[in-house]
Structure 1
Amino acid sequence: MTLPTITATRYVLPLREGGSLPGVVEGNDLGTYVIKFHGAGQGPKALVAEIIVGELFRRLGLRVPELKLIQLDPAIGKSEPDFEIQELLIRSAGLNLAVDFLPGSFGYDGSAGNPGDQAMARILWLDAFVANVDRSWRNTNLLVWHKNLWLIDHGAALYFHHSWMPAEKFATLPYDASDHVFSIATPDVPGVDAELAAAITPELLTEVIGLVPNEWLEDGDRERYLDYLTARLDKRSAWLPGGAR
């Protein structure tokens, strides 16, 4: 199983949020996407995290915009008048990540209503599992689209892979839920623990890790991701928000 691959046909505009400078592009399938560049600040590892985390969350019932791989011709970059963007486009020639663009969506700020105790607890549990440090009220990385909540931007998760800290250290690394947008759901997290832990099987992890393109990985990386995430699942009493039940 692989992610669909498309080709960028036109660069539309930059999204000047954060340091990675994603942009909106059109694809040869007539779709519109947010493109995440392998040549941006944290390189392809951020895209690896986007795929593993996004596809894991999707399989566990959360809404994540569809992900595709997208080929970028450097010729698109050469016609861009903004030097910073032109440089990024040329540097990112080749395979990048495309995230389905949700027209008319807006950032979640609480005004759209409470998504429910269990939904908040599931999101908090999963963010703690993948060590996602980027879901605070300052930057929720949540969109409201057609009255539903959608999760985006998971490139800051799985940060162990930037230095490959020892797997046993990551397995028991505490998660600070106090800054999480759904920190109020902390008491409800133990109630969803057994269900989510049982659903994250080695087969499921192998499937989502297998969606990452070879060119974004080094030899042995797939096995490392599986080992690290399996170890963290086994040691969840050390990081579970709200404490183990």
Structure 2
Amino acid sequence: MLSEVTATRYVTPLREGGSLPGIVEADDLGTYVMKFTGAGQGRKTLVAEVICGELARGLGLRVPELVTIELDPVIGLGEPDQEVQELLKASGGLNLGMDYLPGSIGFDPLAYEVDPAEAGRVVWFDALINNVDRSWRNPNLLVWHGDLWLIDHGATMIWQHNWPTAASAAAKPYNASDHVLAPFGPDIAAAAADLAPLVTEELLTEVAAQVPAEWLVDEPGFESADALRRAYVEALLPRAATIHERITLGAPTRDRPSQAPGWLADRLTPQPRTTGRTAQAPADAAQVDRRPQHDEDGGK
């Protein structure tokens, strides 16, 4: 299971993105970017964060450490921002934290070169999890100590939002034309040869077991949390074997709006800047807040 910590101080919200994550300090003296069960996207985005984040880690990709964070709603009583206060009050109990990477910067494809091998591994992984949220519009990549780090996997595995059609949805191809790493000539074949054999039933079962049971309860059609965990395994396992054959790399749709599903429209739309609380963030938090169209990262 993921390590569990307790939030001791809410530092500042991250205003870009729709879920309003926040930087918090915890009783292990760590600093985390926290995503809340009470946010509008719901607990399924946290499930996706855990499964995809831990799967990426198992495949050797860089992802900030994930933890569960116990939140006492009393922590929000002194919060002056009404929206943030309501979010904290609605998120009592277990939430998700990502290790905050101090000094990290948002990935800029014009300023940072990625070799075809690494680009291929990231694109292949995003195809596996059907990530619609790592495009040139919203890279969800950080550069930290010169390395690429993958963040924000809440908008993945779209099939989890309609389990009766999950098998057909998981079998669909992946259009990587708008992927932020598409211009770097991703070597998909090499990535598939290296990574697909690693996506075993054992690895997926281990990854799914990291999801707290309380985030999996009351899902229609499933009698237990373990049954739902099994559904994630069964969707991803066959996809890993053949998805490289169904990845499209064409011209990016720079003259059209995002082709993401409609339910993601608000989430993928950058939110307007605000003043006040955010402007008083610590130096590192302010740096994160300047990242274009990111809504999370992590680090101690």
TM-score, with normalisation over the residues of structure 1?
A: 0.94
- In the alignment, which residue of structure 2 is the partner of 1:195? 194
Superposed CA deviations along residues 173-225 of structure 1, whole A, max 9, x for unmatched, are 12111110011356620222122110111000001110000000032211111
Structure 1 residue ranges, 4+ long, deviating more than 3 angstroms after superposition: none
Q: What is the alpha-carbon distance in structure 2 between the residues aligned to residue 39 and residue 131 of structure 1?
A: 24
Contact 1:128 1:241 (8 Å CA) reproduced: no
Q: 1:240 to 1:186 in 2, by over 3 A?
A: farther
- In the alignment, which residue of structure 1 is the partner of 2:232? 225
Q: 1:228 to 1:171 in 2, by over 3 A?
A: same
Q: What is the alpha-carbon distance in structure 2 between the residues aligned to residue 185 and residue 199 of structure 1?
A: 24
Structure 1, unmatched stretches of 5+, are: none
Structure 2, unmatched stretches of 5+, are: 218-223, 250-300
1:128 alignment partner, SS class = helix
Q: 1:68 to 1:37 in 2, by over 3 A?
A: same
- In the alignment, which residue of structure 1 is the partner of 2:207? 208
Q: What is the alpha-carbon distance in structure 2 between the residues aligned to residue 30 and residue 188 of structure 1?
A: 40
Contact 2:106 2:141 (8 Å CA) reproduced: yes
Q: What is the alpha-carbon distance in structure 2 between the residues aligned to residue 120 and residue 187 of structure 1?
A: 5
Q: Is the aligned partner of 1:73 residue 2:72?
A: yes
TM-score, with normalisation over the residues of structure 2?
A: 0.77
1:98 to partner: Cα distance: 0.6
**CA-based RMSD:** 1.5
Q: What is the alpha-carbon distance in structure 2 between the residues aligned to residue 167 and residue 83 of structure 1?
A: 38
Contact 2:133 2:140 (8 Å CA) reproduced: yes
Superposed CA deviations along residues 103-162 of structure 1, whole A, max 9, x for unmatched, are 111100024421211000000000000000000121110111111111100000111111
- In the alignment, which residue of structure 2 is the partner of 1:153? 152
Aligned residues: 241
Contact 1:173 1:238 (8 Å CA) reproduced: no
Contact 2:160 2:166 (8 Å CA) reproduced: no
Contact 1:125 1:241 (8 Å CA) reproduced: no
Q: Is the aligned partner of 1:176 residue 2:175?
A: yes
Greater length-normalized contact order (CA 8 Å, ≥ 6 residues apart): 2
- In the alignment, which residue of structure 2 is the partner of 1:93? 92
Q: Which amino acid aligns with 1:46?
A: T
Superposed CA deviations along residues 38-91 of structure 1, whole A, max 9, x for unmatched, are 111111100111111111111111111111000000100122111110000000
Q: What is the alpha-carbon distance in structure 1 between the residues aligned to residue 133 and residue 164 of structure 2?
A: 20
Moved more, 85-94 or 178-187: 178-187
Q: Is the aligned partner of 1:63 residue 2:62?
A: yes
Q: What is the alpha-carbon distance in structure 2 between the residues aligned to residue 72 and residue 117 of structure 1?
A: 42
Q: Which amino acid aligns with 1:102?
A: L
Q: What is the alpha-carbon distance in structure 1 between the residues aligned to residue 29 and residue 180 of structure 2?
A: 35
Q: Which amino acid aligns with 2:246?
A: W
